Amino acid sequence: MPELDIVTAFQCDEGSRPIKVRSSSDPDKVYTVVPGDEETEPSCTCRGYRFRGTCKHLKEAIRHRCGWHSIYDGSPAMTDVHKTRKICPRCGGRLRVVRVGV
């Protein structure tokens, strides 16, 4: 049996960060969208999401999500500055530390 090596990796935390989206039909309405990722449930505060479990705000948020991962994404490469300050080299957002089996 090959043994699984657990290594420490970094992943962009953008999926868990709520984004404010203005409603296209009602400019006074602002929805809060969480794109979601492996550890975070996606959500949106609009009615469409509550009824259907998905909506265009969420789809947009997912499409623009960074999702950078230090193991699966070689570029842009991570520097020591990114590593020590936990900054995503792609979007400049926060990084979270994750454990990955390789």
Q: Go through the chain and tell me how many residues it has.
A: 102
Q: State how far the Cα of 29 lies from the Cα of 31, in Å rounded to an integer.
A: 7
21: nearest Cα among 49, 67, 61, 68: 61
Which residue lies nearer to Zn ion by CB, 6 or 39?
Answer: 39
Q: Which of 59, 90, 94, 96 touches Zn ion by CB under 5 A? A: 90
88 makes contact with Zn ion (CB under 5 A): yes
- In terms of C-beta density within 10 A (0-12 exposed, 13-18 middle, 19 or more buried), how is residue 1 classed? exposed
**Binding mask 29-58 vs Zn ion (x if CB under 5 A, - otherwise)?**
---------------x-x--x-----x-x-
Residues that bind Zn ion (CB under 5 A): 12, 44, 46, 49, 55, 57, 66, 68, 88, 90-91, 93
